[in-house]
Amino acid sequence: MSPPADSDTNSYSVDLKVLQYEKFIDEVLKKDLQRVMEQRDAVYEQISHYLQLKNTLQALQGTDSQCLKADVDLGCNFYAQAQVEDSSKIYVLVGFGFFVEMEHDEALRFIDKKTSQLTAFTDQLTNNCATIKANIRLVLEGLRELQGLVDLPERSRREVF
């Protein structure tokens, strides 16, 4: 009678470990992946804003006039017309909420440096995403082995995340 009790205990132990691993995937790895992907998306948005500013500055350099008329968003998509008498200098967000007054050439050099820095950071975040996905895959493979499941053929597999 003792062998069935041992197999029940062993089965219970395996089920408990499977639940712990599934909980680890859901509560830790998937949340980490979500956080890193959101952070990467925010950096991509910053790069987009800097590139938009770069295009605007290049368009301003192509005109002879220093006077500029623009629609300014006051918030909640409420726009007002603004007129700038001297657009030779602009204020650029350099980080941590600080703006610095720069001339167009100076701002373009800063934007190039900032976008290359942000691009390197997105590459690092992309590598972090790949590492987390690999860890998820590793834990799923461990669960498969722990439960004694057979592996699906390569063509029948689908992406889990």
pTM: 0.76
Domain ranges, residue 95: 2-63+89-145
Taking residue 87's Cβ as centre, other Cβ atoms within 10 Å add up to 15
Cα–Cα distance for residue pair 35/43, rounded to 1 Å: 13
CATH number of the CATH domain containing 115: 1.10.287.370
Residue at 78 is within a domain: no
Cα–Cα distance for residue pair 113/65, rounded to 1 Å: 28
The per-residue pLDDT for 145 is 82
Residue at 129 is within a domain: yes
What is the tally of structural domains in the chain? 1
Residue at 135 is within a domain: yes
Residue at 73 is within a domain: no
Residue at 79 is within a domain: no
Per-residue pLDDT of the chain (161 residues; tens, 9 = 90+): 344 455 566 677 778 888 888 899 999 999 999 999 999 999 999 999 999 999 989 988 887 777 888 898 899 999 999 998 888 889 999 989 999 999 999 999 999 999 999 999 999 999 999 999 999 999 888 888 877 776 656 666 666 65
Give the residue among 6, 43, 66 at the shortest CA–CA distance from 118: 43
Residue at 69 is within a domain: no
Q: Which two tokens stand for residue 159?
A: 């992406």
